[in-house]
C-alpha cells in the first residue's frame, strides 16, 4: 500500500489520466478543457520547460490538468471523464 511522503497517514490516491499514466490526486488543482485561449497560452508558455507533461500518447489533447507544483499535464481524455475518475473513491486501475 502506498503511503504519504513520510510513510504514515492515509494512502496516496492515484488518478488514471489515460494510457497507463497516473497522477497523485492530492496534487490536482484544476482540470480544464482545451477550448479557451488562456489555456492554450499557458501550454505555449510551458513548452520547452520541465513544467509540461504530455500524457496523450500522440492523441488529440482534450484536457489540461493543473497541479499544485504548477505542472501542466496534457490528457487525451475529456475533462468530465477525468473529474469522474477523481471523484471516485476506488484506486486507479480498479
pTM for this structure? 0.84
The string of pLDDT tens digits covering residues 32-60 is: 999 999 999 999 999 999 999 999 999 99
Res 22: pLDDT: 97
- Residue the block writes with cell 477550448: 35
Q: What is the pLDDT of residue 9?
A: 77
pLDDT for res 93: 52
Cα separation, 45 vs 25, in Å, equals 24
- SS3 (DSSP) at 24: strand
Q: What is the pLDDT of residue 74?
A: 98
Amino acid at each position: 500500500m502506498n503511503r504519504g511522503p513520510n510513510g504514515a497517514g492515509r494512502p496516496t490516491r492515484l488518478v488514471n489520466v489515460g494510457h497507463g499514466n497516473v497522477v497523485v490526486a492530492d496534487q490536482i488543482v484544476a482540470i480544464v478543457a482545451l477550448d479557451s485561449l488562456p489555456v492554450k497560452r499557458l501550454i505555449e508558455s510551458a513548452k520547452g520547460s520541465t513544467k509540461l507533461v504530455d500524457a496523450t500518447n500522440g492523441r488529440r489533447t482534450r484536457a489540461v490538468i493543473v497541479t499544485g507544483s504548477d505542472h501542466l499535464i496534457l490528457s487525451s481524455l475529456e475533462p468530465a471523464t477525468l473529474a469522474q475518475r477523481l471523484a471516485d473513491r476506488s484506486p486507479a486501475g480498479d
